[in-house]
Amino acid sequence: MSTLVIIPPTPVPAVTPVPPFPPLSDRVLGLYNIKAYAFGNHMGTLFMPELQALCGSAYSNAQAANVAATIATAMAAASASAVGADKWVMGTNYPADVTAWSPIDKQTYRRNAPGGISNVDPYIDSGSSNPGWTRVSGGDSLPQFLLSTQGIV
């Protein structure tokens, strides 16, 4: 059985508040240049690096969400196909990726490629060195290719 590892989202970095741009009335008070300098200095030194870090965390989280959605879609498809599985019958031609449940253990199995006539119960055949069937019910329904590409297996 595979273990699914949940990767926490990338933390959103803190952003320094932008100083207010001075109103023209500050000219009379002699504060305009000091406030304009503080605003310009902030925009020139802090704003862009913080904005880039913020965009980077949003991008990383979007990528992680996309991976999670892909895995969830595969899990849903595997579960849906397992729900509609028929009872396995000896001598029946089962194409690759078709599901059937074993009368021995009542678990659902997916036919491995290339498919063909099945004369051995999926429960027994799934344990062989070159299995014709792979169990998909009972927690093993996540396609291995998705798990391995994400470093989960």
Q: Which residue has the tokens 């119960």?
A: 121
State pLDDT tens for residues 88-110. 999 999 999 888 989 998 888 88
Task: Band the pLDDT of 5: cuts 50, 70, 90.
Answer: low
Predicted TM-score of the model (pTM) = 0.50
Q: Which residue has the tokens 């803190």?
A: 14
pLDDT of residue 38: 92
Q: Is the pLDDT of residue 42 over 60?
A: yes
Q: Is the pLDDT of residue 51 over 50?
A: yes
Q: Which of 109, 74, 72 is nearest to 88 (CA)?
A: 109
- pLDDT exceeds 70 at position 151: no
pLDDT digits (tens, 9 = 90+) for 10-20: 888 888 998 98
Q: Do you find a cis peptide bond into 131, omega within 30 degrees of 0?
A: no
SS (H, E, C) the chain: CCCCCCCCCCCCCCCCCCCCCCCCCHHHHCCHHHHHHHHHHHHHHHHHHHHHHHHHHHHHHHHHHHHHHHHHHHHHHHHHHHHCCEECCCCEEEECCCEEECCCCCCEEEECCCEEEECCCHHHHCCCCCCCEEECCCCCCCCHHHHHHCCCC
